[in-house]
Structure 1
């Protein structure tokens, strides 16, 4: 068994890409197979080396390791041979229409309420007409003549699938400059590098039918590959998540403080009946089951991801995150805040709250209360019992309790309405800073 992930280095990887990479890698590992990273860089004009490196960095961050890797531009000779084979069998034919002419045809078809399918006009050209077109300076692009059949397969997620090829336009496989398109290059690579299973998005179902037909034209059996099409991703409101992909790159999520383990756990179970399980990647593969994925579109809920991230951070020991925390952070600081943050980037705020200078928000009618709090503040050393003893004394003197007692103190000491337990933070803030903040609160 061998699976692959074939991103194009024309942009950053986003959660949609990551979901497919994770699915292919987990499925391969679960079944003792191999995983291939293939860089689809046939679009030379848009491909960037920086994106290639970013793809590798992102996959490594996710915990995905590949057994082999190559770039499609390293195999141009193999695609050229496939092109010649398809030309020789009459399956690849030259076309000379301009983009404007094709657009006009589509507009006419739509206006006449017909499906905008390519009309194969170029198949009717005689050799003499083709020669004349080339003599006039026209350079052909090449289309693959699809079979007049219905392609069927048993999908590992969607069940029985079919594509009626007569309702699909003959795909362009070779550009006017002679470069090959992904549609052909992908089939050639899948066949020649022994790919057995292909997990892709539901939006590729029609493309799958086309590529099965191309594979057959190159000598493969109809059932050479096993396919699994994952349902589309929607946002929290049921809209297309693809519209937000640019803002959901893996680099952005990583910089914001989303943990790779949480993201892998979330995306691996997205669209299934299984609850996410926080495990290392290798162990994640042991419990991954593609058959549990629903056929229905899945909703990517940022709140659920952050909830899982929160849970993951809450169980991390200090040693694992020490080098990613603000300078000077201690184990006591981490243990105090880890249960109250959704992303590690939030540690910066609490580091400032604990060790830095803050400006408490204005509060009405609390000056007398905060003065009493300062007067009753016990001497150091402090521990986790200090908060309880201090607030008990303050309650007895003021008669206040509950929110009326605790909220003014929290606002004065942290500047925030919510946060880590003050019994844990108080010893870290220290008596001097506490007094300074109580005084500042009185003067608002």
Structure 2
């Protein structure tokens, strides 16, 4: 009975050795040394700046991957960072996905890009690639306030903890004014190359490139499904950038002001419409704007035009409020929309001031301003009597919509069309003169 015990121990040892050998054989047999295999994998590029348009694209990409019954999503990260709110939503999307997610970094994944990577199940890097430097900054390029940095640091730590990564490394990537012995001195932020990331547990593997990564996963390049952003999604990503938002609004508003100083719809008006069109198109594709917002903007423009013919200020004021409401509501964030619009209004006001100082009050803009001032000490000078122009012919120098400039007997005269729009070069005849108002029609 006692002699059987050593035999039993020997059998158990032999079984353990066999199991170990089988595990090693499986490890060696799998390319790259990883035994897990996947039935279907998708490749999703995450490049350029991170913004809310990227969030919408990734929502579609993950939904499409799930519809195709993929069990692996490889996010190809190459980004300098971007909007932390968008990154936060993308991180939540990755965490809630039932598919295994790998963040593949072959160049850079800084700031918000690092946060996205930390939410993935695995991080794979190539030699020469980097990650980290995740301190949030404001639009002016300065570090955010202490309260915001503290909150973002906690989010980074929480994301790192998903796969048991060292929390102090995540904090060192965010907190500038904190010293982390062995990681970084005070006054700097931590960034890691591939070797450092692997040593600190922030990279699960280091591979030479895409081919080695796919080989280690047992995936052939032919079977890999690539999900690219559509043309509309690319425009949406570009438009929803805070900087581009502000630029488009500036161009749109400045275009309107320039058009007011130059009677007749021309280059400035066209550029203005294109800018506003891009603004609404991008936000519509990204899922932030809808037809109500676009309708409010269009109604506001119409009311502003009507103010030219219905003086009093009320119609124009309602139109202005409608335009502002449409633009702000179409933005992905009301606060960001107000900030971008505020910047645009300030720049537009400055341009209008410079135009008035340089050229005076001219064009359609003059309809809002009383050109003749009555001063008691100087006496009021009545407008020049132009009744002698009645019945005389001339030619339109500018388009009349309905106001414009005509030429009669070699003299430039401000006139108004009696029958709607008249193109430049149209032969006209003066049909009526009311004080300083010269009314013409096509001859």
**TM-score category, normalised to shorter length:** under 0.3
Higher RCO (CA 8 Å, separation ≥ 6 residues) = 1
User: Normalising to structure 1: TM-score of the pair?
Assistant: 0.27
Which structure shows the higher strand fraction?
Answer: 2
Normalised to the residue count of structure 2, the TM-score between the two structures is 0.27
